[in-house]
């Protein structure tokens, strides 16, 4: 008979269209996680977060205030600046139908300018405004030079948007009206510019992320560009309700047109972004994107993006699916340089087959065009600009590298992503994906060549489930910073202390961690002495480890014959487990039921021996087994064991009576008075304890377990044992899948 976990894994593979669904190797609960957090009275509605490595501060925007926290320990507040709404503005906001809390000032964006001051923008009672903030002698202060914030942040404190600061130039993708219906992708600064207000350009978009890609300019066609990730209703689909993921690009040097497209992007191009892991016909929706620049060739740089399945059948958290896809910059550039789509008079969209103007529409002004006399977008012909105005959408779709996701998970919704570049002990560069979820768990994942992505461990960042809306990594401290509505957290993603043994340290294949042969600990490879740390990221070769010391002998456990009992096994990881009796693997059957946290055994008199629970991990086809716990089981006849227990209970009862008598005497000597009834009859103790133990052990264990196992053919979850108390990982993937099937 196939084991249940194997059946579930096979079913998950089918559900994912052949994609391997990754289960975390280890789950670390909030209580077991060594993190720092900041929370105080009056601090709520955390709405922005920025790292200032230069002054070692974490800047946090909330409702009506900006806070600075020590980057080394965010529990230490270093500064605070208030920016509240006047009573008149709040009253006017409420007159327009908004709630009292909505009419406060939510600090939605924090950006550092060239001179070190910060541009701070807030919703300001549905009348967005911005101000500059300075650091003077370690203290922060707002300058009070209020300026319009329309389009830089939304009017609505809860509407999604994105922005980016480059030097003193701000790029923002946000709504620009009170109702939040007019969306634009804009640039602010010396040469302000915006998208055209047309359905073909932006159709009910949700703005996700902005990234600046600066070219090395080693070739004449290279030019800096800004990329926008968003979702929108697809104009090219027959149904307006189909939402798709998009990537758009504009040129950093774009100045708009001279007559046509004045102060409008002349280089705005967009394409569909695909991440195939959900149902056919249900496009996945991008949730966040992170740009990781290639240090050798910028054209090989990669965008990492999180996606959730856009399917009504996967609407619940337990049944939802998420993925991470990676996109090479060279592939994106190739798609955006391809064929255009055009809108017909009927409203349908088809491939454009006519003549394209020269230069190629939406081209950036590079050295090649400058040599031809086109030195800026102001010099582009009206013919080219009219074509660009009517054709912002290309036919091709941007597919992920290798044609499939790096990572797929069921039962959760991915939100934010940050990717860290780590130099491993062999000198190679490894990419670690740090992924936030809507339930407050951080996924630390990797993907090695020739393998599917896998989650090394997941960390519970908040005590109660809440979305991870912010995720930033400090290059200086190596710490990850996040936050929810009323709390900011700091966690060391390089922490290797949870790997207590060498084999566990190497088998985890965590690029951050290696085994230090000198001190005999699993340590971070960042800053470690060269040659002192061993890793085996590709193969998980534990033969590199020192020879372990001899293990201690297992403790003796007495079991009833012919009565179902429970042997606990709770490994620190989420790896599958197997059981052995002496040298034989225990298979599911009438006498053995394997659960996620132990073994239900109904032994016969011949089943005495050493029971071993071990984790099973396969790396590159090699199976690694690690002992979690061992029991030297001796099976005894029920009647003889009851007699032994009765004798033990009598001894314990006499000892308890003597102890109580001693306490009573001490109390009498000290207080000269004792309430009657504290000292009780030894005979009653003996009878009560014996009856209690006998009933609990014999009736509960024998009747409940025996009946459950027999009546349900060994396939039930025995609720009297702590099987469902999975505090670390929450609902496992197999239980989530079972929930979906129900």
Q: Which domain holds residue 123?
A: 35-167
User: Does residue 187 lie in a domain region?
Assistant: no
Asked if the model's pLDDT at residue 706 lies above 70, the reply is no
Give the max Cα distance, the chain.
110
Say what the pTM is. 0.82
* pLDDT above 90 coverage of the chain, percent: 62
652 — pLDDT class (breaks 50, 70, 90) = low
Handedness of CA 464, 468, 472, 478 (dihedral sign): positive
- Which residues pair with residue 273 across a beta bridge? 398
Q: What is the mean pLDDT of residues 398-420?
A: 94
C-alpha radius of gyration, the chain, whole number: 32
Cβ–Cβ under 8 Å, residues 103 and 85: yes
Handedness of CA 198, 203, 206, 210 (dihedral sign): negative
- Looking at residue 718, its pLDDT comes to 29
Residues 295 and 364 reside in one and the same domain: yes
- Looking at residue 80, its pLDDT comes to 96
Residues 378 and 329 reside in one and the same domain: yes
What is the C-alpha separation between 552 and 555, in angstroms, rounded?
9
- Looking at residue 235, its pLDDT comes to 93
Which three-class secondary structure string do you get for 272-317?
EECCCCCCCCCCCEEEEEEEECCCCCHHHCEEEEEEECCCHHHCCC
- Looking at residue 371, its pLDDT comes to 85
**Number of C-beta neighbours around residue 508 at 10 A:** 22
Residues 75 and 115 reside in one and the same domain: yes
User: Does residue 555 lie in a domain region?
Assistant: no
Cβ–Cβ under 8 Å, residues 323 and 414: yes
Asked if the model's pLDDT at residue 128 lies above 60, the reply is yes
User: Does residue 583 lie in a domain region?
Assistant: no
Q: How many helices (H) and strands (E) does the chain have?
A: 10, 43
In degrees and rounded to multiples of 5, residue 340 shows phi and psi of -95, 155
740 — pLDDT class (breaks 50, 70, 90) = very low
User: Does residue 742 lie in a domain region?
Assistant: no
User: Does residue 354 lie in a domain region?
Assistant: yes
Cβ–Cβ under 8 Å, residues 436 and 309: no
| Residue range 335-347, pLDDT digits in tens | 999 999 999 988 8
Residues 121 and 267 reside in one and the same domain: no
**Highest mean pLDDT range out of 214-228, 480-494, 728-742?**
480-494
Of 200-209, 288-297, 689-698, the least confident: 689-698
Residue that finishes a domain, picked among 544, 572, 604: 544
What is the separation of C-alpha 168 from the centre of its chain, rounded to a whole number of angstroms?
32
- Looking at residue 653, its pLDDT comes to 55
Q: What is the mean pLDDT of residues 178-205?
A: 95
Asked if the model's pLDDT at residue 630 lies above 60, the reply is yes
Residues 232 and 307 reside in one and the same domain: yes
Residues 376 and 507 reside in one and the same domain: no
Q: What is the mean pLDDT of residues 732-742?
A: 40
668 — pLDDT class (breaks 50, 70, 90) = very low
What is the C-alpha separation between 440 and 483, in angstroms, rounded?
9
Helix (H), strand (E) at residue 606: none
Asked if the model's pLDDT at residue 279 lies above 60, the reply is yes
- Looking at residue 421, its pLDDT comes to 94
Asked if the model's pLDDT at residue 26 lies above 90, the reply is yes
Closest CA to 165 of 52, 263, 294: 52
User: Does residue 479 lie in a domain region?
Assistant: no
Q: What is the mean pLDDT of residues 145-154?
A: 93
- Looking at residue 325, its pLDDT comes to 97
Q: Indicate left, alpha or beta for 658 from its phi (over 0: left) and psi (-120 to 50: alpha).
A: alpha
| Residue range 193-205, pLDDT digits in tens | 999 999 999 999 9
- Looking at residue 666, its pLDDT comes to 45
User: Does residue 641 lie in a domain region?
Assistant: no
User: Does residue 149 lie in a domain region?
Assistant: yes
- Looking at residue 588, its pLDDT comes to 84
- Looking at residue 482, its pLDDT comes to 97
With vertex at residue 609, the alpha carbon angle to CA 608 and CA 613, rounded to the nearest 5 degrees, is 120
Closest CA to 30 of 504, 523, 510, 727: 727
| Residue range 528-575, pLDDT digits in tens | 877 889 999 998 999 999 887 766 788 899 998 888 999 999 999 999
Interaxial angle between packed helices 638-671 and 682-694, expressed in degrees from 0 to 180 and rounded to the nearest 10: 140
| Number of independent structural domains in the chain | 3
What is the C-alpha separation between 112 and 517, in angstroms, rounded?
43
The position carrying tokens 């230490």 is: 76
What CATH number corresponds to the domain at position 213? 2.130.10.10
Which three-class secondary structure string do you get for 720-742?
CCCCCCCCCCCCCHHHHHHHHHC
- Mean pLDDT of all residues in the chain? 83
Asked if the model's pLDDT at residue 589 lies above 90, the reply is no
Residues 110 and 213 reside in one and the same domain: no
Cβ–Cβ under 8 Å, residues 310 and 285: yes
Q: What is the mean pLDDT of residues 290-314?
A: 84
What CATH number corresponds to the domain at position 533? 3.30.1680.10
- Looking at residue 642, its pLDDT comes to 58
Cβ–Cβ under 8 Å, residues 607 and 591: yes
Residue that finishes a domain, picked among 341, 372, 402: 402
What is the C-alpha separation between 274 and 399, in angstroms, rounded?
5
What is the C-alpha separation between 737 and 410, in angstroms, rounded?
8
Residues 197 and 144 reside in one and the same domain: no
What is the separation of C-alpha 522 from the centre of its chain, rounded to a whole number of angstroms?
24
With vertex at residue 362, the alpha carbon angle to CA 360 and CA 363, rounded to the nearest 5 degrees, is 60
Residues 146 and 272 reside in one and the same domain: no
- Looking at residue 450, its pLDDT comes to 84
Residues sharing a CB contact under 8 Å with residue 33, sequence separation 6 or more, in sequence order: 459, 460, 461, 491
| Residue range 449-484, pLDDT digits in tens | 888 899 999 999 999 999 999 999 998 899 999 999
- Looking at residue 192, its pLDDT comes to 96
Residue that finishes a domain, picked among 402, 422, 456: 402
8-state DSSP, 191: S
- Looking at residue 621, its pLDDT comes to 86
| Residue range 29-40, pLDDT digits in tens | 999 999 999 999
Residues 161 and 244 reside in one and the same domain: no
Cβ–Cβ under 8 Å, residues 156 and 141: no
Cβ–Cβ under 8 Å, residues 409 and 455: yes
| Residue range 348-383, pLDDT digits in tens | 899 999 999 988 889 898 888 888 888 899 999 999
Helix (H), strand (E) at residue 447: none
Beta 393-398 vs 269-273: how paired, if at all? parallel
What is the C-alpha separation between 395 and 437, in angstroms, rounded?
32
What is the C-alpha separation between 27 and 408, in angstroms, rounded?
17
**Does residue 359 have a cis peptide bond before it, meaning omega lies within 30 degrees of 0?**
yes
- Looking at residue 624, its pLDDT comes to 92
Helices (H), 607-699: 638-671, 682-694
Residues 287 and 387 reside in one and the same domain: yes
Q: In residues, how long is the chain?
A: 742
643 — pLDDT class (breaks 50, 70, 90) = low
Of 124-128, 199-203, 682-686, the least confident: 682-686
Output the CA–CA distances (angstroms, integers) from residue 480 to 190, 215, 459, 569, in the order listed. Answer: 35, 28, 12, 33
Residues 134 and 220 reside in one and the same domain: no
Q: What is the mean pLDDT of residues 58-86?
A: 96
Closest CA to 594 of 24, 7, 4: 4
Cβ–Cβ under 8 Å, residues 532 and 516: yes
């Amino acid at each position: 008979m196939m084991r249940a976990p194997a059946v579930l894994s096979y079913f998950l593979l089918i559900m994912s269209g052949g994609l391997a669904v990754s289960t975390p190797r280890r789950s670390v609960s909030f209580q077991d996680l060594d993190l720092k957090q900041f929370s105080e009275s009056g601090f709520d509605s955390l709405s922005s977060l920025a790292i200032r490595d230069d002054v070692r501060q974490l800047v946090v925007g909330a409702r009506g205030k900006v806070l600075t926290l020590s980057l080394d320990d965010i529990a230490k507040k270093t500064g605070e600046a208030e920016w509240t709404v006047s009573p008149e503005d709040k009253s006017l906001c409420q007159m327009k139908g908004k709630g009292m809390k909505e009419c406060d000032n939510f600090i939605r964006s924090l950006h550092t300018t060239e001179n070190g001051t910060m541009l701070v923008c807030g919703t300001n009672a549905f009348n967005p405004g911005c101000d500059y903030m300075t650091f003077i002698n370690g203290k922060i202060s707002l300058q009070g030079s209020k300026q319009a914030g329309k389009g830089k942040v939304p009017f609505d404190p809860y509407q999604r948007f994105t922005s980016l600061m480059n030097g003193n130039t701000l790029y923002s993708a946000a709504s620009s009206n009170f109702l939040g219906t007019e969306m634009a992708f804009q640039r602010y600064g010396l040469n302000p510019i915006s998208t055209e207000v047309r359905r073909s350009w932006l159709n009910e978009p949700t703005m996700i992320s902005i990234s600046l890609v600066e070219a090395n300019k080693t070739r004449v066609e290279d030019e800096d560009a800004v990329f926008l990730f968003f979702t929108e209703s697809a104009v090219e689909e027959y149904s307006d309700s189909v939402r798709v993921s998009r990537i758009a690009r504009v040129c950093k040097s774009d100045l708009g047109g001279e007559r046509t497209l004045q102060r409008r992007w002349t280089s705005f191009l967009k394409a569909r972004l695909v991440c195939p892991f959900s149902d056919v016909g249900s496009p996945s929706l991008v949730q966040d994107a992170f740009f990781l620049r290639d240090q050798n060739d910028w054209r090989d740089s990669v965008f990492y993006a999180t996606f959730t399945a856009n399917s009504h059948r996967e609407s619940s958290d337990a049944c939802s699916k998420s993925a991470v896809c990676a996109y090479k910059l060279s592939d994106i550039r190739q798609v955006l340089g391809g064929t255009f789509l055009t809108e017909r008079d009927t409203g349908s969209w088809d491939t454009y087959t006519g003549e394209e103007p020269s230069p190629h529409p939406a081209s950036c002004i590079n050295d090649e065009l400058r040599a031809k006399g086109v030195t800026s977008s102001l010099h582009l012909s009206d013919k080219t600009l009219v074509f660009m105005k009517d054709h912002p959408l290309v036919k091709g779709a941007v597919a992920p590298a290798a044609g499939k996701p790096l990572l797929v998970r069921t039962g959760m919704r991915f939100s934010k992503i940050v990717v860290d570049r780590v130099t491993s002990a062999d000198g190679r560069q490894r990419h670690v994906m740090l992924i936030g979820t809507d339930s407050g768990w951080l996924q630390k994942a990797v993907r090695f060549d020739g393998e599917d992505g896998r989650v090394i461990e997941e960390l519970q960042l908040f005590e109660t489930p809440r979305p991870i809306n912010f995720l930033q990594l400090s290059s200086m401290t190596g710490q990850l910073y996040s936050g929810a509505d009323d709390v900011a957290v700091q966690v060391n993603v390089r922490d290797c202390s949870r790997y207590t043994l060498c084999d566990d340290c190497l088998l985890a294949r965590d690029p951050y961690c290696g085994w230090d042969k000198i001190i005999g600990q699993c340590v971070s490879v960042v800053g470690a002495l060269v040659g002192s740390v061993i890793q085996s990221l590709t193969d998980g070769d534990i033969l590199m480890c020192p020879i372990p010391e001899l293990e201690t002998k297992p403790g003796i456990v007495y079991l009833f014959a012919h009565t179902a009992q429970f042997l606990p096994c709770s490994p620190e990881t989420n790896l599958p487990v197997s059981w052995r009796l002496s040298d034989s693997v225990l298979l599911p059957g009438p006498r053995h039921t394997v659960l996620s946290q132990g073994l239900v055994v109904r032994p016969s008199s011949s089943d005495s021996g050493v029971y071993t629970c071990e984790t099973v991990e396969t790396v590159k086809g090699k199976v690694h087994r690690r002992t979690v716990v061992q029991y030297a089981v001796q099976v005894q006849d029920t009647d003889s064991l009851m007699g032994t227990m009765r004798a033990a209970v009598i001894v314990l009862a006499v000892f308890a009576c003597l102890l109580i008598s001693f306490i009573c005497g001490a109390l009498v000597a000290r207080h000269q008075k004792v309430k009657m009834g504290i000292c009780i009859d030894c005979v009653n103790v003996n009878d009560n304890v014996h009856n209690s133990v006998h009933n609990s052990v014999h009736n509960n264990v024998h009747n409940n377990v025996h009946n459950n196992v027999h009546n349900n053919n060994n396939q039930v979850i025995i609720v009297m044992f702590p099987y469902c108390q999975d505090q670390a990982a929450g609902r496992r993937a197999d239980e989530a899948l079972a929930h979906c099937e129900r």
